Structure 1
Amino acid sequence: MTKPPPVPLARAATRVRTALQGLTRRMVPPEVGVLEVMSSFMATHATYALTRVGAADALASGPRTAAEVAAEAGTDPDATYRLLRACAGHGLLTRSGDRFALTALGRALVSQHPGSMRPVVLMIGDPRYQAVWGQLPEAVVTGTPRAEAVHGVSMWELLDREPDYAAVFDDAMTRLTALDWPTVAAAYDFTPYGVVVDVGGGHGQLLASVLGVAPAARGVLLERPALLPHAERHLREAGVLGRCRLVGGSFFDTAPDDGDLYVLRRVVHDLDDEQAVAVLTTLRAHTPPGATLVLMESVVPPDGGPHFATSLDLDMLLFVGGRERTEQEYAALLERAGFRLTRVVPTVSTVSLVEARPVT
């Protein structure tokens, strides 16, 4: 990923892009605009297919015909041509005569691309993910998550039951952490903290990144025991295991007592308000008076303007019953748990850093 631009510049560019999109929508009859909105799911499935069948990888070496792509991917030549033609219309490919080539957008789908979004595309396009989104009307009526209605078990139980989907999910989460990290590192200084505790830190990717920019710090990872071997391996490969302590347990029940900085990345948005307060209250009981808490979350803008957080909020409703929140809502949660919100640090990605300190 290239160096992130300054936040004010990124926000100005987003406002311009949003204004142009709004202007485009107003230039067509409302009926046509509705059709365009409703057919956007086709772009999702075309992108997934291009990635899933290996067509994007087949184009990685340069322009090729549909027949050549089909021969390498093992797909039907005519159907492949039709897929490539559609993906060109979505800006993933260019076309010159009978040859197709990847655009910068399309190259992000290639397996070996440094900034590959392939894991995220494979998660979002997976039928098991899409089926739950098909339950959005029912979720709006009931106000409850729908993964169990579709799969017979909760989202977390589904990941335990189907290892292949768990692998897809874990790869996507790893990629999204890596996508956020450069923008987080550019916006927040981790060097003042001696002990960094990653609460619910999964495979340790975030903790490894923090320790990479804070070479004097030590790290503590709190995670379910089943995930600790994976985290140990990742932290060893990152060269920081010698500065780490791994603690098995649930953040509902316990937390390390010796942190200077406690970090939760996209943990609180998985939880409803009562669950979130329970986790934060447990954390407060173990947080030293001078420590800092940082929640890395998408923060819903107060003006209701376009933001990825509002779509992600529906994802949380559907899959786990969680929610995205405004700054004021985070302040209220933190206050109930014994913390005081000190600031919200925006980044140029979809994540912000909600910083708080314990009330003494």
Structure 2
Amino acid sequence: MTRLPPTRVVRAATALRTALQSLTRRMAPPEVCLLEFASGFVTTHAVYAAARLGIADVLADGPLTADDVAAEVGSDPDATHRLLRACATFGIFREDPRGLFRLTPVAERLRSDTSDSMLPVVLMLGDPAYQRPWGRLAHCVETGRPAVEEMFGMPMWEYLDEHPEFAATFNDAMTRLSALDWPTVEAAYDFTPYSTIVDIGGGHGQLLARILGAAPLAKGVLQEREALAGDAEEHLRAAGVLPRCRIEAGSFFETAPSDGDLYVLRRVVHDFDDGQATAILTNVRRHMPRGATLLLMESVVPPGNTPHFAKTLDLDMMLFVGGRERTEREFATLLERAGFRMTRVVPTISTISLVEAVSTGGQL
């Protein structure tokens, strides 16, 4: 298991970083701060352009001039130099006095051939299909309706079904983000007491495979829509856990496996408003055996002005699917409505927390 620093150490470091950022903002004129905030999109698109061109892969073997990079990726030399120079101000690439550009530790994560690559996530965040709805944020706030439905004429999930190229980009990013969370989840939660672990809405099975790797005596059940469940078998086989697994196709609004003692939902309920989320959780509870545990892997919104990824991810949910991130109190209320009692919230050193609950009524 990856050795990670204690949560309290990471939180202290994050608090220090936040304090330094706040101090920097207070030292700058307010108009300068606003200009920096409003021009943040430039960073997104510069990093996306570098990712699309594969510049990090070209620089993996050593520093090159902008002309050499351009020759490798098939781009205009002058424009390539200007892009590299801008990215270097963000700490992505570094230019030396001889005009040679090299990778920084941040740029290493843009390579396509490393296990810790963030390339799939950057390619999703900069994709025009992802960027366009953000331009409608003000209208979304005015109407309270997802921008995607208005712009594309269909809900996000239907858009993904009808646009396989962006769906592939989206799914690759979700897989990478799941892998990014996993070491922190494994360090914070013990899965070994459970004999049958059910992953509801588990996609292609990557999370379930990792959980079963951490709980070698457990069996696993994956429930997913039929369109996605078909690919899960190959992923579970490649991970060496298929003999311990069962795959069930079905909607989490309608059914759930009935033989688990731990039911896991990773970033499922944040895709839905309170009514739909309650319906999902109620359905799961109806199928859970008495004494089983529910585990939600979700971001938890902290109180006050504390910076947290959940507060910006909440806007993403509002724009794309009409879902929301929730505070600890909101999770407790949501779970109570669905017939659960929240037992604890386990923080991790990443942006995800583990919300644990038990049924107050047992299987119906």
| Structure-2-length-normalised TM-score | 0.98
Residue 343 of structure 2 corresponds to residue 342 of structure 1: yes
Write out aligned runs for 1:304-343 (5 A).
Answer: 304-343=305-344
Cα offsets for 1:69-119 (capped at 9, x unmatched): 111101110000000000000001111121001100011011012210000
Mapping of residues 143-292 of structure 1, within 5 Å: 143-292=144-293
Q: How many residues end up aligned between the 2 structures?
A: 360
Deviation, 1:5, is: 1.2
Alignment-derived partner of residue 47 in structure 1: 47
Task: In structure 2, give the amino acid aligned to 1:226.
Answer: A
Residue 153 of structure 1 deviates from its aligned partner by: 1.9
- Residue identity opposite 1:120 in structure 2: V
SS of structure 1 residue aligned to 2:291: coil
- 8 Å Cα contact 1:51/1:57 also seen in 2: no
In the other structure, the counterpart of 1:31 is 31
| 3-state SS, counterpart of residue 209 of structure 1 | helix
Mapped to 1, the partners of 2:143 and 2:212 lie a distance apart of: 43
User: In 1, Cα distance between the equivalents of 2:277 and 2:162?
Assistant: 26
How far does residue 235 in structure 1 lie from its aligned partner after superposition? 0.2
Please give the alpha-carbon distance, in whole angstroms, between the structure 2 residues aligned to 1:56 and 1:151. 33
Q: Which amino acid aligns with 1:278?
A: A
Q: Which residue of 2 aligns with 1:56?
A: 56
SS in 2 for 1:252: coil
**SS of 2:357's equivalent?**
strand
- Aligned mates of 2:243, 2:5 — CA distance in 1: 34
Secondary structure, counterpart of 1:193 in structure 2: coil
The DSSP-based 3-state class of the residue aligned with 1:59 is helix
Which residue in the other structure is 1:95 paired with? 95
Partners in 1 of 2:278 and 2:111 — Cα distance? 41
Q: Show the counterpart of 1:13.
A: 13
**Which residue does the alignment assign to 1:72?**
72
Residue 2 of structure 1 deviates from its aligned partner by 5.9
1:22 aligns with 2:28: no
**Quick one: which amino acid aligns to residue 151 of structure 2?**
V
The reply to whether residue 111 of structure 1 matches residue 132 of structure 2 is no
Counterpart-to-counterpart distance in 2, 1:253 and 1:3? 40
In the TM superposition, residue 61 of structure 1 has moved relative to its aligned partner by 1.2
Provide the identity percentage.
65
Q: Secondary structure at the match of 1:311?
A: helix
Q: CA deviation at 1:225?
A: 1.0
SS of 1:63 mapped into structure 2: coil
Partner Cα separation in structure 2 for residue 297 and residue 4 of structure 1: 20
Question: Aligned partners of 1:133 and 1:204: how far apart in 2?
Answer: 30
Q: Deviations over 1:278-337 (max 9, x none)?
A: 000001101111110000000000234110000000000000000000000000000001
Residue type at the aligned position of 2:45: H
Equivalent residues of 1:132, 1:146 under 8 A apart: yes
In structure 2, stretches of 5+ residues that fail to align are none
The letter for the 2-side match of 1:305 is: T
How high is the TM-score relative to the length of structure 1? 0.99
Instruction: Work out the CA distance in 2 between the residues paired with 1:113 and 1:256.
Output: 36
Between the aligned partners of 1:170 and 1:182, the Cα distance in structure 2 is 20
Greater CA deviation, 193-202 or 282-291? 282-291
